[in-house]
Amino acid sequence: MISVEKLVGLTQSYNPRSDEKLIRHAFDYAKKMHKGQLRRSGEPYFMHPYAVAMQLAEQHMDDSTVITALLHDTIEDTKSTFSDIKSQFNDEIAELVDGVTKLTNLELGSVESEQAENFRKLLLAMSKDLRVLLVKLADRLHNMRTIKHMDSEKQIKKARETMDIYAPLAGRMGMQFIREELEDLSFRVLNSEARSSIMRRFLTLRSQSGDVITKIADDIRTALGSYKIEGDVTGREKKPYSIWRKMEEKQEGFSRLSDIYGFRIITRDEVDCYRALGAIHQRWKAVPGRFKDYISQPKSNGYRSIHTSVSGRDGKIVEVQIRTKEMHEVAETGVAAHWSYREGQRSENKFAVDPFIWISEITESFNNSEDQEEFLEHVKLEMFADQVFCFTPKGDVVKLPRGATPLDFAYNIHTRIGDGCVGATVDGKRVPLWTRLRNGQSVEIITAKGQKPQAAWKDVAVTGRAKAAIRRSLKTENRDNFLRLGKEFARVAFENVGKRVTNKALSTSAKLFGLKTADDVLVALGSAELTGAKIIEALYPEILRKKSIDEIEPSKAIIGLMSDQNAQRSSCCEPLPGERIVGILTKGRGVMIHTIDCNRLANYDQMQDRWVDLHWSEGTHQALNEVLIKITIGNDAGVLGRICTLIGEQNSNISDMRFEEKKPDFYRIAIMIEVRDVQHLHNVVTSLSADTDVAEVVRYRELAE
């Protein structure tokens, strides 16, 4: 149930000096802005921002973060603007809401070149104020909890994005409880059968063994008591996704998987952590290779704990984590500890690591990276991997992700060392380059003049830095061959759709794929990083488009109208399906539809009762909408005919045409075309822009003049 009293009561429970008046104002403002909007479940949309705010209040976050959660969809989904938020609240909250809006608009699950660029934007938003990410994670968590109301295709897309991006981000920020729940909710969507199977196995185990967790926890308490060690002991079954991941990694069935139970000991101080470890190892046999001391060697996100696995009651392998209360707070809440309150004061934790340091390191090291794939791989490895710490012969520490090889070690020191690597010694012994490094090992790289990276190294290296350096070297060496192959691949691909390969077409596709030049496109084709089909699809999508069976009738194209209301597009901004819109009630003309950024809307600022919240239906629209485009073309024979043909190939009709300017070397033409939606318009413009004799294509709207 939505209740401002409950939210205010919660914030004041941990921060008595909380600004009750401002929180109430944010609650009322957001509720008003979202009035009439519904979620797919049928419940009021405001239920979502309220739930996000409650989640953050439960983490004892500061007022600004809780208020941002209430307002986080107002700029995106209502007529509220950045200026409105700034005037109603303050600069800090306005910047936070704007930051969350920008994160929401990033398509993080797109193709790799776009994904890398959006990752840069995400890191930039995070580096300004990390609370933006905290709100976004809470937003994603609530959306995943209610994902069953989406259609199956969107569920899969959101679940993959959550598993690939948001869950590891939460983990990298030290917010383990959010990471685990995001992973499990995504797992439920992506592999529901596997998750159900694991849950059934758990039920069978419980019926056969009884309450094993309680019994083992009691055994641990007895072991600690024998050494007079005070500590809270808790146990649990590991999450289904964690179990599934271990099964996949070890290629074992559930019945052969041993460590499905995890236990935690919270002690008074660090000394008792090590005493507790001794008590556990005295009582049970330790499992070789399963001991990790993250207290003496913390993870880079501040995580501190001792991990060990032992053969416990009835021979069951159990994992035991040992840490102090302060360490546990960092382990559970991570970055949120920087803004959380306790008894009215900002809490301080000596074990918390400033997450801005990690973000700064990534953005500084890779902000100028020209290799999108290198950037993306590095960021993902930074988020996913535990680290190993190895030493140079001089004793310098080199941090690498788990699974790294001597080749990664070499490239971490310097690209020149990596390129010239011919071998390595680990702890004084010669080892193959594919050897997986472990914590504390000393590594020496052997180099030789004239050595160059080998193609097989791409499969040996793990880090993005090493892989990218190897690819660059191989690409430079093979560029001429790739260029020659790429030209042939491009010729065949274009001829298949009746087109001719031109430098302009290739240059246009270079922009679409985040490449620099037409030659880069050909090299990517020749090296199989791009396919001819993808280039044709990007330049001429309508040629490949099949008739959709899910077309929307014109009468159902707009959602938000009353049954007796008619709507028509405003001529000032000519809104298209796919653009954000708003309706204005008019006398005798029904509801006029405007784009959300139309200049004419300023005339209705003081007439809020005439505003109607509208949005387009999702899917393919049947109705065609007229849009005016202005094209500058070369004054040569056959150019105008070719332009008309290109428009027709994109399944668009020309309803009017006029020459606006005629010069000896170029024409400027205004053409009225019919398109279904904003994506259809984009397809037409892209196709025209790829033509050699087209200098410029722009959409004309009255508001732009």
Catalytic residue positions, numbered: 76-77
Q: Is 535 helix (H, G, I), strand (E, B) or coil?
A: helix
DSSP, res 492: H
Structural contact between residues 94 and 53, judged by C-beta atoms closer than 8 angstroms: no
Q: Which helix (H) or strand (E) holds 444?
A: strand 443-447
Q: From 692, 694, 687, select the one nearest 545 (Cα to Cα).
A: 687
Using CA atoms, how far apart are residues 258 and 330, in angstroms rounded to an integer? 28
Query: In terms of residues, how long is the chain?
Result: 705
Query: 17-39 burial, b for 16+ CB within 10 Å, e for fewer?
Result: ebbeebbeebbebbbebbeebee
DSSP class of residue 436 equals P
164 is written with which tokens?
Answer: 């690939």
- For residue 664, what is the DSSP state? S
Tokens 């413009």 map to which residue? Answer: 685
Residue with tokens 């679940």: 159
Per the CB < 8 A criterion, the answer to whether 407 and 431 are in contact is no
Task: Please report, to the nearest 10 degrees, the dihedral formed by the alpha carbons of residues 18, 20, 21, 26 taken in order.
Answer: 100
Tokens of 221: 């308490």
The conformational region for residue 302 under phi > 0 = left, psi -120 to 50 = alpha, else beta, is left
User: Are the C-beta atoms of 305 and 323 separated by less than 8 Å?
Assistant: yes
631: nearest Cα among 588, 677, 688, 564? 688
Token pair listed for 674: 């019919």
Asked if 89 contacts 56 with a C-beta cutoff of 8 angstroms, the reply is: no
Of 589, 636, 632, 596, residue with least CA distance to 616: 596
Residue 409 three-state SS: helix
Q: Can you say how many angstroms the Cα of residue 605 is from the centroid of all Cα atoms in its chain?
A: 36
Cα angle 46, 49, 55 (rounded to 5 degrees) comes to 135
For the four alpha carbons of 57, 62, 66 and 67, in that order, the dihedral sign comes to: positive
Q: How far apart are the first and last CA of the chain?
A: 48
Q: Which residues pair with 569 in a beta bridge?
A: 593
DSSP per position, 279-299: HHHHHSEEPTT--EETTTS--
Helices 406-413 and 464-496, axial angle in degrees (round to 10): 100
